[in-house]
Structure 1
């Protein structure tokens, strides 16, 4: 929905700029028609499994960097991970231990980080949409009920504005029984001004008593409402109301609804006056002043009716345009059309993905090759890696030849054994592979390998191989890059961490103090460097904690848990862990451990 909101906002601003720049210089009907672009852009096309065409001119392309940063913050900051162990952060721990107790008292601030904001926003949107939907239905139901309750039939008019005096055609249910289509006209003093309303049986024109008693006022009022009928404005009013209900939170949508309703009236004024001379235009203007009621009631925006309500600004605008009778230039029309076309290009397209189009067969073949490469690397299969390298020099950056003519690569630890990796295909010739290096300590850290592949007659070969290691996280940017796709659950190390905390030997000296404090546990397990603790939230009942760490380039949130340890040999034996473990947001509270 974010792309719809952003693109539609830009589109609304462009149309508003066109309107106020070229007001009176282009056909009001065209001006009114421009708002249909907004309606089309507000359609949830992505929900229909459809995709906008890609373009470098897209608004979303310009906003991609910012959107990517926000999206990365909302996802990457919640990832669970554990870089290598072994670095002692004495300086950092000494500094933060002074702050910890004070920040615990302000844990309500950090509690914000544990809230599922996506669910909160969705709930608020649904409640708002339901509330506005009920208001929309009530406004129109109550309005129609009041009109029907107190009304008096006046006459029936043809679509040319001429009255039909044959009483046989005046029955409300028989408006189309004659060749000449007609609409009934009723008098109702529940109105402030004439309007066109649709009931279950069809459209109806309503006028007030003072309008019905003045032949000239009645004539112009009926002509005006018939223009609304021919333009299908009742349908557009319903669409406008539906868009407001769906996007009730969007202030620019409300502005667009108000201005488009005003443009609807300008279009009808233009249609009525199209064949009038200057004197008749002035007469229409004077009568319109008497017909229009100045109001600012927001219910008018939601009414599926063409009522003549205007605020002071809108009324002034209409009077000026009616008095003005300038010939519109074709060059101005061309400029507006070009601007509207560019606006559509900006807002009805999506950002390009920069991924080359490849056939399904080629895509599968390339995917299979990258999996084969990652499997071989994880298994330290040096021969397979050698065969997949384009040249000898590349292989020697990864492994070496043995004296017996064989191939060798890698070490026992740390290493991404058990095929522990994530592959991100960049295009048809390159991919990022995120390996999760493990040690027996146990710890984990991330290494990102970027391979570039060429294809020849024998198949795919790796031509370039670049590495970036994240065995120390010293910025938010590194955090988001390293853990873009997450890491294995550290919860599986819970039993080992608990054993380290319970062991009083010199080998595990200090482990208890580190692992039983959520701040130091997060620092140790994540191997953070240079980060400051800016917030702590702990829930002693749910055994959860959220720590907020900050670098100069931003903040991240880390979730931790104290799981229940279950003996695998005897499931009745359970123990509440005293250590803290970095976990995914949707954590598992219990973890099975092997019996001693």
Structure 2
């Protein structure tokens, strides 16, 4: 909508300018036809291929600014006002911003002067509010349009009498009270005459020629579409201008067409007919009336008479120039915004995984998450109070080294508070800011730094609080890279105010600095597919529409033995509860009142799901933006089939009447709402199947069934893992290996399945191996060299173990993974110098893969690479020195457990203590 408003405004302005400069040199029929471009732009949401010069390219900054504004919150229906001094958390809020309270109802907001906290009943974004206003105005305008035309039609019906006219293609009627002759009727147009129009035969001939020309030009249809535009874009002043001007051009074009039929000899007489019959009014005719009335303003009538009497000859060069300029204006307004796919590349799944699992998130407290706690277009404008609200990631509630605790407690009056006090020196803030922004505290604009108390004696910024603003998890759903700029997109569920984009700068040494964090529209970033062609492409255009299992709602009253947490879905609450009949139910709550003894004195619910057994583990969470619905997903165990495991994910939404509807059901151990093909519209992906929508209809693709039908080599589907970062499903199992020496081997396979909007793409891993390193495996060069030394040693040990026979003919090895085991990701801590830990994996190659013994976790791929065997110490551990060099330690972390496991933590502790 925003794009159409912008481009249509420019197009209308351009046509008005062309109309002025070519008003005497091109036919009005040509000018009238040019308004069809505006009609097309307003009613048909099409885009031409991108051009170097276009309105959307030039208006990119304006569009982004509008997008930011549209996502700003608007608070509605004030229900309570409280002095800010009576709300303890108001001191942390910004004027005009939300106030954090424990209330479950309402949205407290601090006034602009900081004196009052107003609680509002409703919070919406600007875009939602404007959408409500737009739809209300559209409904009102539509009713007015319908009423005006019905009233006019009824007036004509009551007043008309048939007026026989030989040779007329259309019915002709005489109306005694009509102010002007007109043509009316969308599907069966008829000509309506006034007594003055039939007073003289010549005048009647002129009027009939005029109205029949309107009919040949299909002007009732264009008038109707003009009214549709005014109904939809009732708020747009330029659309009203275009409607009025195009209506005038319609009459001028009709005059030209009528005179072409009557002949130049009738030009002056035709002008006299207009002067006699056209009512002159100060206000233009009702633009929402589809009739082609001859009403005109004084200036408009003068223009018509002048053009009739002077009969300006069209200039061919001017017509061509006007058409060319109008075409250019249309191309520039219809063209899609130009993108630079070669410059801005979608992040791969591994890159997105790094930012989700290593850079952000992890164990409490990752200070990088706090850089998402405020909006800023420049790092100088970061809200320092929000950033350092919980400290700098270390324990900032302890007395800094070198300061006497009792003196500090007395100076800061710490004995008179039950809440901890965060204490940060300028040096501590400088360390964080310089590392992640390249700035010092002095170089920032010190936004909200004054919210801290500053003690000059100790150079401490202090704040006492018992709550937290820590963002424990951010889900980055997509990202792009353009040169050294990384743009990461996430839906801010923590603040609940829409989509955001955080921009990082790659410093080239493995570190990143924050550049901005701003609201944005939901991204439509293309999925980063592998660089090679898919092994198999399976179309999904022949699937039958999906029909979700029907939902039966049973009314239960006063049977609640134990209720659990409620989940608000629209105007209703959904609860899981234990019934007195011993069953667990999911139910829509109609009425619930808790008694003084903990029992429910009132309980009236609609049960729509019976959970299998009391012992099962059930979880409930929210989902949003799936096939046009928001709702809840209930995960529970139950007997399904041997093929599909024993876990359900049921996605429900509620109708306006509170009736639960099962939107889709997935099976397996994982299920996510995710934009699989990167077109900005979500799909639903499970471990075995995915759901997509096409032309308003939902379809289910059974991936196991599709692969079995289209890939004869598949013999067994083992398991699948959904990768939300790569937007793919990683599938493993067994396949026939006809290329092996015996011609009938069973090899392991690993495939990645993608959905591109039209088909399922099946990719085999075709990365090359160079110098014992699998392509795309990245790490600091020093780590890679140490990993290769470890790989060679492991290879030699494996071949030298006569008792550990895996197979025959091994001739090569390779490192397949180097993963950083960061403390943020896996939750380990070390109080000494900075430590880095890397987990390693490697494979060996066999020229006789059919001889490999598949014992334990060993696998052999169809190209002869073998992996999965036990490695005693598959980790690199090093201390990072002050000068940036690394000192490698003898790792004692065993391969029995993964990163973060108890075996890992004990082995890391032994490694570091023995250093």
TM-score by length of 2: 0.38
- In the other structure, the counterpart of 2:762 is none
1:188/1:209 contact within 8 Å kept: yes
Whether 2:154 is the aligned partner of 1:154: answer no
- In the other structure, the counterpart of 1:176 is none
- Map 1:447-596 onto structure 2 (within 5 A): 475-478=376-379, 512=419, 530-532=446-448
Q: What is the number of residues matched between the two proteins?
A: 398
Question: Could you list the per-position Cα deviations for residues 275-301 of structure 1 after superposition, in whole angstroms to 9, with x for gaps in the alignment?
Answer: 666652122111111111123556621
Task: Report deviation, 1:150.
Answer: 1.3
- In the other structure, the counterpart of 2:350 is 372
Q: 2:174 aligns with which of 178, 183, 187?
A: 187
1:14/1:343 contact within 8 Å kept: yes
Task: Report deviation, 1:74.
Answer: 4.6
Check 1:22–1:282 CA distance in 2 against 1; reply closer, same or farther (3 A cut): same
Q: 1:445 aligns with which of 355, 365, 368?
A: 368
Rounded to whole Å, the distance in 2 between the matches of 1:545 and 1:103 is 23
Task: Report deviation, 1:512.
Answer: 3.3
Whether 2:83 is the aligned partner of 1:105: answer no
- Map 1:123-162 onto structure 2 (within 5 A): 123-156=132-165
- In the other structure, the counterpart of 2:52 is 56
Rounded to whole Å, the distance in 1 between the matches of 2:373 and 2:276 is 76
Could you say what secondary structure the match of 1:301 adopts? coil
2:71/2:125 contact within 8 Å kept: no
Could you say what secondary structure the match of 1:209 adopts? coil
- In the other structure, the counterpart of 2:752 is none
Rounded to whole Å, the distance in 1 between the matches of 2:450 and 2:292 is 56
- In the other structure, the counterpart of 1:393 is none
1:474/1:531 contact within 8 Å kept: no
Task: Report deviation, 1:69.
Answer: 3.3
Task: Report deviation, 1:4.
Answer: 0.3
- In the other structure, the counterpart of 2:299 is 313
Check 1:258–1:506 CA distance in 2 against 1; reply closer, same or farther (3 A cut): same
Rounded to whole Å, the distance in 1 between the matches of 2:495 and 2:53 is 44
- In the other structure, the counterpart of 1:17 is 17
- In the other structure, the counterpart of 1:592 is none
Check 1:436–1:76 CA distance in 2 against 1; reply closer, same or farther (3 A cut): farther
Task: Report deviation, 1:186.
Answer: 1.1
Could you say what secondary structure the match of 2:269 adopts? helix
Rounded to whole Å, the distance in 2 between the matches of 1:4 and 1:51 is 10
Task: Report deviation, 1:37.
Answer: 0.4
Rounded to whole Å, the distance in 2 between the matches of 1:508 and 1:269 is 92
Question: Could you list the per-position Cα deviations for residues 445-469 of structure 1 after superposition, in whole angstroms to 9, with x for gaps in the alignment?
Answer: 259xxxxxxxxxxxxxxxxxxxxxx
- Structure with bigger strand share is 2
Check 1:134–1:114 CA distance in 2 against 1; reply closer, same or farther (3 A cut): closer
Question: Could you list the per-position Cα deviations for residues 195-254 of structure 1 after superposition, in whole angstroms to 9, with x for gaps in the alignment?
Answer: 011177x22111111221222211111110010011110111111111111111111111
Rounded to whole Å, the distance in 1 between the matches of 2:304 and 2:158 is 32
RMSD: 5.0
- In the other structure, the counterpart of 1:382 is none
Question: Could you list the per-position Cα deviations for residues 99-127 of structure 1 after superposition, in whole angstroms to 9, with x for gaps in the alignment?
Answer: 9998233656x979954222211111111
- Identify which range, 291-300 or 249-258, moves more after superposition: 291-300
Question: Could you list the per-position Cα deviations for residues 135-163 of structure 1 after superposition, in whole angstroms to 9, with x for gaps in the alignment?
Answer: 1111111101111111122213xxxxxxx
Question: Could you list the per-position Cα deviations for residues 45-81 of structure 1 after superposition, in whole angstroms to 9, with x for gaps in the alignment?
Answer: 2xxxx65421121100000122123324555999xxx
Q: 1:206 aligns with which of 189, 192, 195?
A: 192
Question: Could you list the per-position Cα deviations for residues 549-579 of structure 1 after superposition, in whole angstroms to 9, with x for gaps in the alignment?
Answer: xxxx99999xxxxxxx99xxxx99x9xxxxx
Check 1:112–1:2 CA distance in 2 against 1; reply closer, same or farther (3 A cut): farther
Whether 2:420 is the aligned partner of 1:420: answer no
Unaligned ranges ≥5, structure 1: 79-92, 157-163, 165-179, 378-415, 422-434, 448-469, 498-503, 516-523, 536-543, 548-552, 558-564, 575-584, 587-596
Rounded to whole Å, the distance in 2 between the matches of 1:106 and 1:317 is 61
Whether 2:168 is the aligned partner of 1:196: answer no
Could you say what secondary structure the match of 1:182 adopts? coil
Whether 2:31 is the aligned partner of 1:31: answer yes
2:162/2:173 contact within 8 Å kept: yes
- Identify which range, 147-156 or 264-273, moves more after superposition: 147-156
Task: Report deviation, 1:323.
Answer: 1.5
Whether 2:250 is the aligned partner of 1:303: answer no
Check 1:345–1:508 CA distance in 2 against 1; reply closer, same or farther (3 A cut): farther
Relative contact order higher in (CA < 8 Å, ≥ 6 apart):
1
Whether 2:335 is the aligned partner of 1:349: answer yes
Rounded to whole Å, the distance in 2 between the matches of 1:278 and 1:444 is 83
1:195/1:225 contact within 8 Å kept: yes
